[in-house]
Amino acid sequence: MVISTELRIDAKRLAARLEALGAVGAIAGGGVCRLALTAEDRAGRDLVAGWMRELGLSVTVDAIGNVIGVREGLESGAPVMAGSHIDTVRTGGRYDGNLGVLGALEVIQTLNDAGLTTRRPLAVAFFTNEEGARFNPDMMGSLVYVGGLPLDEALATVGIDGESVGDCLKKIGYDGPAPCGQPEVHAYVELHVEQGPVLDLDGITIGAVEGVQGISWTEFAVLGVSNHAGTTPMRLRHDAGYVACAIANHAREIARSLGGDQVATVGAIKLSPNLVNVIANQAVFTVDLRNTDEAVLQDAERRLHAFAAEVAKAEGVELSHRSLARFEPVAFNPHVVNLVEATARRLGHTVRRLPSGAGHDAQMLARICPAGMIFVPSVAGISHNVKEFTALPDLEAGANVLLHTLLALAK
């Protein structure tokens, strides 16, 4: 009988699954493009759900397309769940999200090989549209799962390309029959690449994640007057392009003046008619503000909107805005954070605590059960970029910490 404390995952098998999933929607440079609910996402879902079934999990698909595989325990009841997402941004890396789902599958296969059944059932999940890049907000599937977003509102959401979540789910065949939020979850642990530079710079293998910073996504729309770039005197212009760029520049200024953890990003911007010799009459762009401190994040939002209103008035353009996502900072369950840290130490890995700069499904599961995360280093802190990379020994360490954290929670 294998002593469970000596159990270790099979790193080569984990690497092989990451490779196979990384080939679905592969793009130049070693990255992946599997935007939520596209044909590529469907292909990735089919591959991973197939592995779930091969490993003997009983797989359900819920009405927002979350896929949950359950492994019986010696007792029935709420499972201990591990998971993440397999949708990616347009220029995604192979590890963001995928590692958490495939690391969980590797844990299941390790337990199967050892003939070990945990007291509590285990579950592996991948949640729909964690990235929020095509349909806002991010963490959509897990937010519906925990009751934070009504299903019909999520299904009615129209994406950046004009299609609705509901239509796309049907198109890819993942408008599942199961009610959202089943099964109830006893505890949730998510393995994820850090996507920032902290662990890599410190030369530390494991991150015991204390929580997730607050996220504020706003879309601004500016309506000005298009006119001739050559003949229109500056004092007569109502230039939507200028206003968009002024606000974008000010977002950076807000982050600089607040300092600390404040970050600000203008990632998407569209001008129309978008021609070299026409003053833009329309600009639509997004501002992503984040901070670990809710009060400072609100101050950043206030400063942004005050400046935007002022520069729009001065330029004589109309300005409107809508929130695409707004989540307050989340603190993970101290017992789970302590368990991750102690497990990493017991397995002989260096470990430190840190907050997450990125949003994760774990921050939603934290609303309904004790939740926590395990980070492994991202080389040079690169992510949401095809060059995202984590060395195999670090992937292996993270999956082993996941294995033993789950065993501790499920016994």
**Binding positions for ligand HGY, rule: CB under 6 A:** 130-132, 138, 358-359
What's the min distance (Å) between Cβ of 132 and Mn ion? 9
CA distance 216 to 233: 37
Given the rule CB under 5 A, which residues bind Mn ion? 96-97
132 binds, among Mn ion, ligand HGY, none (CB under 5 to 8 A by kind): ligand HGY
Nearer Cβ to ligand HGY, position 73 or 359? 359
How long is the chain?
411
CA distance 276 to 398: 50
211 binds, among Mn ion, ligand HGY, none (CB under 5 to 8 A by kind): none
Record the tokens describing residue 274, joined without a space: 């978008």
Please identify the residue of the shown chain whose CB is closest to the bound Mn ion: 97
Report the DSSP pairing between strands 282-291 and 214-223: antiparallel
329 binds, among Mn ion, ligand HGY, none (CB under 5 to 8 A by kind): none
What's the min distance (Å) between Cβ of 359 and ligand HGY? 4
| 3 state SS of 166 | helix
The neighbour count for residue 177, using CB atoms within 10 Å, is 8
What's the min distance (Å) between Cβ of 46 and ligand HGY? 23
The answer to whether 21 and 102 are in contact (CB under 8 A) is: yes
- Torsion sign (Cα): 352, 358, 359, 360: negative
Nearer Cβ to ligand HGY, position 89 or 410? 89
The answer to whether 73 and 181 are in contact (CB under 8 A) is: no
97 binds, among ligand HGY, Mn ion, none (CB under 5 to 8 A by kind): Mn ion
Nearer Cβ to ligand HGY, position 329 or 359? 359
| 3 state SS of 69 | strand
Nearer Cβ to ligand HGY, position 36 or 222? 36
359 binds, among ligand HGY, Mn ion, none (CB under 5 to 8 A by kind): ligand HGY
What's the min distance (Å) between Cβ of 241 and Mn ion? 29
Cα separation values, 45 from 128, 135, 337, Å: 10, 18, 30
Q: Tell me how many degrees the CA angle 301-304-307 measures, rounded to the nearest 5.
A: 145
- In 259-293, alpha helices (H): none
Nearer Cβ to Mn ion, position 41 or 96? 96
Nearer Cβ to ligand HGY, position 92 or 103? 92
138 binds, among Mn ion, ligand HGY, none (CB under 5 to 8 A by kind): ligand HGY
What's the min distance (Å) between Cβ of 268 and ligand HGY? 12
Q: Which residue from 188, 220, 183, 192 is spatially nearest to 57, judged by alpha carbons?
A: 183
What's the min distance (Å) between Cβ of 263 and ligand HGY? 10
| 3 state SS of 35 | coil
196 binds, among Mn ion, ligand HGY, none (CB under 5 to 8 A by kind): none
Nearer Cβ to Mn ion, position 62 or 96? 96
What's the min distance (Å) between Cβ of 203 and Mn ion? 23
The answer to whether 373 and 187 are in contact (CB under 8 A) is: no
